[in-house]
C-alpha cells in the first residue's frame, strides 16, 4: 500500500477540479474539492444574513463556525461527490455567481481557514487522496508526495467558466465572468493567510492550449513518476 497525497492548486476556473476528479477516479483515490468547502461557508453566511453588501459579520460568523457541518456524499446516480451543508445538498447553489462573488473575502478570514484546514487534513490522514484548491501544497499538505500548480490565461479561464455557467442556464456576460475571475485571483494572491502561491516543489502546468485528454495524460504520468 503506497498510497500518496496529491495536491492540485492554481487559479480559479483553470480546470483543476476536472483534472483532479479524473485522476482520482482513474486511480481509485478520494477526491476532495476544497473550494467547495469555502463556498459552503459562504452560502451559510448568505443564508444566515451574515453578509451585508460586501461586509461580513465576522464576530457572528466566528461564533457560528461550530454550527457549519460540511460533508461530501457520492451521488449514487452520477457517481460524483456532492457537497452537503448541514444535511442539505448544496452542490448547485454553491456554484452560483452570488457565491462566487463573495467567496474570496470569506475565505480570507483566518478563523475560516483554520477550521477548513483542520477538516481537510483529517480527510487526508489515510492518504489516497487528490485535493484541489489554492493552498493545498503550501499549507494543508506541505508534505504531499505530488504537487501540481495549474495556470492558464485569465481570458481562457473566463471563457471556460462562461461556457459552464451558460450550460447551467445562468444569463451572464463574458465581461462579468472575466471581472469575477480577475477579482478572485487578486484577493486569493494578496491575502495574508495562505495566499495562492506555487509551492517551491510544485510542478507548474499551463494548460491554456491543452485538450482535456492531453491534460489527463500529463497528470497521470506525473502520478506514476511520484510513486
- Look up residue 98 and give its three cell numbers: 452570488
Closer residue to ligand C5P in complex, CB, 201/221: 201
78 annotated as belonging to a binding site for a ligand? no
DSSP H or E stretch at residue 9: strand 5-10
- Only one residue has cell 457537497, namely 83
- As a whole number of angstroms, the distance between CA 8 and CA 146 comes to 8
Closer residue to ligand C5P in complex, CB, 134/147: 134
16 annotated as belonging to a binding site for a ligand? yes
17 annotated as belonging to a binding site for a ligand? yes
Q: Which of 135, 137, 153, 134 is nearest to 145 (CA)?
A: 137
CB of 5 to ligand C5P, least distance (A): 14
Closer residue to ligand C5P in complex, CB, 111/227: 111
Closer residue to ligand C5P in complex, CB, 34/207: 34
CB of 34 to ligand C5P, least distance (A): 4
Find all residues with CB under 8 Å of 191, minimum gap 6, and list them.
104, 107, 108
CB of 38 to ligand C5P, least distance (A): 4
15 annotated as belonging to a binding site for a ligand? yes
Enter the DSSP assignment of 150: E
CB of 224 to ligand C5P, least distance (A): 25
Which residue blocks in 48-91 are alpha helix, DSSP H?
58-64
For binding to ligand C5P (CB under 6 A), which residues are involved? 12, 34-35, 38-39, 103-104, 107, 133-136, 184, 188
25 annotated as belonging to a binding site for a ligand? no
The alpha carbon of 125 is separated from its chain's Cα centroid by a whole number of angstroms, namely 19
Instruction: Give the residue ranges of the annotated binding site for ATP.
Output: 10-18
Amino acid at each position: 500500500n503506497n498510497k500518496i497525497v496529491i495536491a492540485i492548486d492554481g487559479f480559479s476556473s483553470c480546470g483543476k477540479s476536472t483534472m483532479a476528479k479524473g485522476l482520482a477516479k482513474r486511480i481509485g483515490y478520494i477526491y476532495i474539492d476544497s473550494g467547495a468547502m469555502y463556498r459552503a461557508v459562504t452560502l451559510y453566511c448568505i443564508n444566515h444574513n451574515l453578509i451585508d453588501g460586501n461586509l461580513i459579520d465576522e464576530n457572528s460568523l466566528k461564533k457560528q463556525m461550530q454550527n457549519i457541518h460540511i460533508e461530501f456524499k457520492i451521488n449514487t446516480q452520477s457517481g460524483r461527490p456532492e457537497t452537503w451543508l448541514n444535511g442539505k445538498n448544496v452542490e448547485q447553489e454553491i456554484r452560483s455567481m452570488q457565491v462566487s462573488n463573495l467567496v474570496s473575502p470569506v475565505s480570507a478570514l483566518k478563523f475560516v481557514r483554520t477550521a477548513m484546514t483542520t477538516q481537510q487534513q483529517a480527510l487526508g490522514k489515510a492518504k489516497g487522496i487528490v485535493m484541489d484548491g489554492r493552498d493545498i501544497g503550501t499549507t494543508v499538505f506541505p508534505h504531499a508526495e505530488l504537487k501540481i500548480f495549474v495556470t492558464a490565461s485569465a481570458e481562457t479561464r473566463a471563457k471556460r467558466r462562461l461556457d459552464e455557467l451558460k450550460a447551467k442556464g445562468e444569463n451572464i456576460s463574458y465581461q462579468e465572468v472575466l471581472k469575477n475571475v480577475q477579482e478572485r485571483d487578486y484577493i486569493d494572491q494578496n491575502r495574508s493567510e495562505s495566499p495562492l502561491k506555487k509551492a517551491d516543489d510544485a510542478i507548474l502546468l499551463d494548460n491554456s492550449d491543452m485538450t482535456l485528454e492531453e491534460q489527463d495524460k500529463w497528470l497521470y504520468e506525473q502520478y506514476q513518476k511520484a510513486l
